[in-house]
Amino acid sequence: MHTCCEVPVSSAHASRRRLVSVIVAAALWFLLPGDVAAQPQELPLGSSMPSVTASFTTVDGGTVQLSSLLGQKATVFVFWSNQCPWVDRYEDRVLGLAKQAESEGVAFVLVNSNDAAAYPKESAEGNAQRAASKNYPVTYVRDENAVLAKALGASRAPHAFVFDDNSTLVYAGTIDDSPASADNVQKPYLKDAIDAVVAGEEVPVADTKAFGCTLKF
């Protein structure tokens, strides 16, 4: 029984409060200093995958080359962060999609390109801790000096890029149309793009606006 001074909080009210908290946290991250002006233009659709010779650090402390990350049917890069509230919201959705995609011959790679010197949680060690906490079923690498991010024109976390089996860019943009809640997704852009590539079909919506935290170069 509630006393005269207690007000029960509905689940809907609680959900709204959680959403407000995410938005406030995201706004603070957006306002953190970042090399926004230096971010290049997104790679145009139909472009070949850039030739990047840099090595990428994996969560087990090893290094890999870009050529070893490519999939048989397609390759998906999703730029990621260890402290972005929008990544937190998307995490389960993306990991589920990655698990499905990799079973279909699609390489799925999470990429952290944020400045680890300025933001220590974005380091290779931070990647390893985050991957271990959720038992990531997907490759997660550090992109030191944001070499890959700048080559692709990535600007947000998350920001997705899909290349087909000819290493041609066929999709770039956001994960879906509902950053705040998986329950409200109406247009799963990234999933649709992956499904189309696997089926050998044209991607239905190939270009969307990435939504998330600004990458900090």
Closest CA to 88 of 162, 149, 175, 7: 175
- The residues pairing with 213 across neighbouring beta strands, listed in sequence order, are 157
End-to-end, the C-alpha distance of the chain in Å comes to 54
What domains lie within the chain, and their CATH numbers? 11-214 (3.40.30.10)
- Please report the pLDDT score of residue 36 as a whole number: 45
Q: Which two tokens stand for residue 80?
A: 């990621």
User: Do the strands 74-79 and 106-112 form a parallel or antiparallel pair, or are they unpaired?
Assistant: parallel
Q: What is the mean pLDDT of residues 118-137?
A: 97
Q: Angle at Cα 86 formed by Cα 71 and Cα 206, nearest 5°?
A: 45
Q: Which two tokens stand for residue 179?
A: 């950053």
Contact, 209 vs 119, CB < 8 A? no
The mean pLDDT value of the chain amounts to 87
Report the run of H or E that residue 9 belongs to, with start and end.
none
- Please report the pLDDT score of residue 162 as a whole number: 98
pTM reported for the whole predicted model:
0.84
Cβ-based neighbours of 86, under 8 Å, separated by 6 or more: 22, 26, 157, 158, 179, 211, 212, 213
3-state SS assignment for residue 166: coil
Q: Angle at Cα 13 formed by Cα 11 and Cα 14, nearest 5°?
A: 60
Q: Can you give the C-alpha Rg of the chain in angstroms?
A: 18
- pLDDT level of residue 67 (50, 70, 90 thresholds): very high
Q: What is the mean pLDDT of residues 167-179?
A: 98
- Please report the pLDDT score of residue 109 as a whole number: 98
